Structure 1
Amino acid sequence: MQVLWFKRDLRLSDHLPLFEAMRNAKHQGLVLPLYIHEPSQIADAHTARQHQLFVHECLDDLQQQFEQVGGYLHEELGEAVEVLAALHAQFKFTHLWAHQETTQLAQYKRDQAVAAWCKSMGVAFMELPQNNVQRNTFMANPFAEKVNFQTYLDRAAQEEIKNPAGRNLQAFFAPKPPNGLNRAKVPHAAGEDKPLRLKGGRAQARAVAAKFFTPAKLKSYPFSISSPLKAWNGCSRLSPYLAYGVVSDREVLQKLNALVNTVHGQNDAYLITKVEDAARFFVERLIWRQGYFQQFENHTGLETDAFYAEEPVETNEEFLLAWQQGRTGFAYIDALQRFLGQTGWLNMRARATLVSFACVQLGLPWQPVALYLAQQFLDFEPAIHYGQVRIASGTSHFSQMLVYDPVKQQLEQDPKGEFIKRWLPEFGTPAYPSPIVENAESLKLGKARLHAMRQSRLV
């Protein structure tokens, strides 16, 4: 028997481990698809209730996808090695298939423990690459062809995506284990759900993609990503579905390519130019995404390590709490936090503004800032998140210091105060606090502190 282990790849389409496990079923044994609810990962400080419920919605949808091709998804509760050991004792499976993931340290250590267990038990752990991320220790893997990302993009736009939908694959699945999981027994992650977050699942992802991939939406995309007023409806909003592997980057690229081809068929030269320009702009963001993945793969210390000897280490708890609660007296910052608290989402410029204000003007260490936002962002993707936080906090190796003046950002992104009025109703009333720091002075001091830090020796 073979086990197919799902983690942050909750789909059937464009799923290489699924395809390879099915292809090898005749020689290596029937396939048991598995998802493990791991108490240690649920209790991890990065994980919030909204993430867990989003995953549950994705699993419900994935279960339906499996049923439509004659299969099932088996769910277990327990630590990964313990669950796999129990299944191995019962079924003596010979292969464990999974995607290689570039993720936070707790999950990477879990994957290493699983690899060590597989080696000790003589189980072949077939961990296949994705997102064109290169892991040196897996270069011997025949599936890990090393190509540059532009070549990967070119191929991704053209290659046929393997999708089992519409086929009857019942003969390839192992008999379903008799005891299914009652999800009521799964411990809850910390925090509360967010009322306006996106819902999980492949069907939801398709609906979001269909709304975005139109000529009008794509054409306006480059002009809609900076202001939170426009970004809510102007961005693709696919980030949570990419973060949890509900869709693959290749599928998104093919959606984009199909739209461009459709526009070409309309023979409108002006529209073709605008849509092509916007498509290139969108692809640039996918390239940035892959760059963050590769950087995190190569430098796992982005999540934990100080790069400079003079990085702040002491946390002003009063400042941190005011920033988290949207009670800083800076209306734009506070409105962004309130919006985030309801939706689980912000556009990239707004995210950088929050981090810059917290770390540069309030002098907070990047670690508690990054951890809090990881809990708040539904689309928390460790590689992207920590890469962006380190840049916006000034603690990366990035040559430029990107400091966002919150007053200037408010004037540029919310000039009429519409966003603030909606999400910060107490603004302008006696209940709203005075600024906890003076803007110009805190910017000056913060920039000087950053400059001095970056002149210090590297750790």
Structure 2
Amino acid sequence: MQVLWFKRDLRLSDHLPLFEAMRNAKHHGLVLPLYIHEPSQIADAHTARQHQLFVHECLDDLKQQFAQVGGYLHEELGEAVDVLARLHAQFKFTHVWAHQETTQLAQYRRDQAVAAWCKSMGVALHELPQNNVQRATFMVNPFAEKINFQTYLDRAAQEEIKNPAGRNLQAFFAPQPAVELNRATVPLAAGDDKPLRMIGGRAQARAVAAKFFTPAKLRSYPFSISSPLKAWSGCSRLSPYLAYGVVSDREVLQKLNALVNRVHGQGDATHIAKVEDAARFYVDRLIWRQGYLQQLENHTGLETDAFYCDEPAEVNEEFLNAWQQGRTGFAYVDACQRFLQQTGWLNMRARATLVSFACVQLGLPWQPVALFLAQQFLDFEPAIHYGQVRIASGTSHFSQMLVYDPLKQQAEQDPKGEFVKRWLPEHGTANYPAPIVDNAESLKLGKARLHAMRQSRLD
């Protein structure tokens, strides 16, 4: 028997481990699709209730996908090694198939523990690559193909994506274990759900993609991403579905390519050129995503390591609490924080503004800032999150120092005060606090501190 282990890859389409497990069923045995609810991962400080509920919705949808091809998804509760050991004692499976994942340290160590257990039990573990990320141990397989991302993009746009939908694969599945998990027994993640967050599942992802991938939406995309006012409806909003593998990057690229091809058969040359420009702009963001993933793959300590010996270590609890609650007296910052608390989402520039204000102007260490925002972002993807936090806090190796003046951001991104008025109703009343720091002075001191910190590494 073979185990097909799902983690942050909650789909059947473009799922190479699924395809390989099915293809090898004749030689290695029937397939048991498995998802494990792991108490240690649920209790991890990055995980919030909104993430857990989103995953549950994705699992419900995935179960429907399996049912439509004659299969099932088996859920278990426990630590990964313990669950696999329990199943192995019962079924004596010989192979485990999974995606290679570039993720936070707790999950990376879990994957290492599973690999060690498989080796000790003589079970073949197949971790197949995704997102064109090259594992640091790449050279152990000299026959593996290493391609640049542009080549990957070109192929992804053209290659047929394997999708089992519409097929009857019942003969490939192992008999379903008799005991089904009662989700009520799964421990609850910390925090509360967010009232305006996106809903999980493949059907939801397809609806979101269909809404975005139109000529009009794509053309407006480059002009919609900076302001939270426009970004809410102007961005693709596919990030949570990419983060949990509900859709693959290859599927998104093919959607984009199909749209551009359709446009070529319609409209005038000017319209076609604008759609093509917007498509390239969108692809650039996917390239950035892959770059962040590769960065974390190459440097797993991005989540924990201090790059500078004099990074801030002391936490001003008053400042941290005011920032977390959206009570800093800086209206744009506070409105972004309140918006995030309701929706679980912010556009990239607003995220950078929150981090920059907290770390540069309030002098907070990046670690508690990053951890709090990880809990707030529904689309938390460790590589992207920590990569962006380190840049916006000035604690990365990025050569350029990026500091976002909150008053300038408000003037540029919310000139009429519409965003602030909607998400910070107490602004302008006696209940709203005065600014917690002086803007000009805190910017000056923060920039000087960052410059000195960076210079000390060069000296």
How far has the Cα of 1:434 moved from its partner? 0.2
Deviations 1:129-165 (A, max 9, x none): 0000001324445894210000000000000000000
Q: Deviations over 1:277-319 (max 9, x none)?
A: 0000000000000000000000111100100011000000000
| Displacement of 1:179 | 0.1
Structure 1: gaps of 5 or more residues: none
Provide the residue aligned with 1:357 in structure 2: 357
Q: Which residue does the alignment assign to 2:41?
A: 41
Q: Which residue of structure 2 lines up, in the alignment, with residue 182 of structure 1? A: 182
* Amino acid across the alignment from 1:37: H
Match of 1:30 in 2: 30
Q: Which amino acid aligns with 1:312?
A: P
Corresponding residue number in structure 1 for 2:424 = 424
Q: Check whether the contact 1:128–1:143 (CA below 8 A) recurs between aligned residues.
A: no
TM-score scaled by length of structure 1:
0.99
SS at match of 2:108: helix
What amino acid is aligned across from residue 349 of structure 2 in structure 1?
A: R
Q: Is the 8 A contact 1:69 1:167 kept in 2?
A: yes
Contact 1:128/1:144 (<8 A) preserved: no
2:190 matches 1:160: no
3-state SS of 1:136 partner: coil
**Structure 1 residue 106 displacement after superposition:** 0.1
Structure 2: distance between partners of 1:291 and 1:7: 21
Contact 1:256 1:279 in 2 (8 A): yes
Letter in 2 for 1:421: K
**How far apart are the structure 1 equivalents of 2:48 and 2:198?**
15
Please give the alpha-carbon distance, in whole angstroms, between the structure 2 residues aligned to 1:109 and 1:408. Answer: 42
Q: Residue in 1 aligned with 2:59? A: 59
Return the alpha-carbon distance in structure 1 between the equivalents of residues 140 and 413 of structure 2: 49
Conserved 8 A contact 1:129-1:144: no
Equivalent residue for 1:387?
387
Measured in 2, the distance between the counterparts of 1:137 and 1:90 equals 33
CA RMSD of aligned residues (A): 1.0
Check the 8 A contact 1:129/1:143 in 2, yes or no. no
User: What is the SS of the residue equivalent to 1:457?
Assistant: helix
Aligned to 2:315: 315
* Cα distance change on mapping 1:169 and 1:142 into 2, 3 Å: farther
Q: Taking structure 1 as reference, are residues 31 and 131 closer, same or farther at Cα in structure 2, changes over 3 Å only?
A: same
Tell me, in whole angstroms, the C-alpha distance in 2 between the residues paired with 1:140 and 1:282.
34
**Counterparts of 1:98 and 1:109, CA distance in 2:** 15
Residue of structure 1 in register with 2:85 after alignment: 85
Contact 1:308 1:458 in 2 (8 A): no
- Post-superposition shift, 1:414? 0.1
Aligned residues: 459
Counterpart position of 1:297 = 297
Once the two structures are superposed, the pairs formed by residues 309-458 of structure 1 within 5 Å of their partners are 309-457=309-457
Q: Look up the SS of the partner of 1:456 in the other structure.
A: helix
**How is 1:174-323 mapped onto 2 (pairs within 5 angstroms)?**
174-323=174-323
Identity fraction in percent = 89
Q: Deviations over 1:209-251 (max 9, x none)?
A: 0000000000000000000000000000000000000000000
Do 2:11 and 2:62's aligned partners in 1 also have CA atoms closer than 8 Å? yes
CA distances 1:6-37 after superposition (whole Å, capped 9, x unpaired): 00000000000000000000110000000000
Q: Deviations over 1:381-432 (max 9, x none)?
A: 0000000000000000000100000000000000000000000000000000
Equivalent residue, structure 1, for 2:106: 106
List runs of 5+ in structure 2 lacking aligned partners: none
Could you tell me how far 1:80 is from its partner in structure 2? Answer: 0.0
Q: Distance in 2 between matches of 1:144 and 1:44?
A: 34
TM-aligned CA distance change 1:52 to 1:142, over 3 Å: farther
* Cα deviation digits, residues 339-368 of structure 1 (max 9, x gap): 000000000000000000000000000000
Report Cα offsets for 1:79-104 as digits up to 9, x if no partner: 00000000000000000000000000
Letter in 2 for 1:454: R
Indicate if the aligned counterparts of 1:242 and 1:249 stay in contact, CA closer than 8 A.
yes
8 Å CA contact 1:309, 1:458 repeated in 2: no
SS at match of 2:442: helix
Moved over 6 A (4+): none
2:136, 2:298 within 8 Å by CA — same for their partners in 1?
Answer: no
For 1:19, the equivalent position in structure 2 comes to 19
> What one-letter code is carried by the residue in structure 2 that aligns with 1:130?
Q
The residue identity in structure 2 corresponding to 1:346 is L
Q: How far 1:457 sits from its partner (Å)?
A: 2.8
What does residue 2 of structure 1 align with?
2
Distance 1:143 1:155, change over 3 A: farther
User: How far is the alpha carbon of 1:458 from its aligned partner?
Assistant: 7.1
Contact map agreement 2:136 2:297 (CA 8 A) in 1: no
Deviations 1:176-229 (A, max 9, x none): 000000000000000000000000000000000000000000000000000000
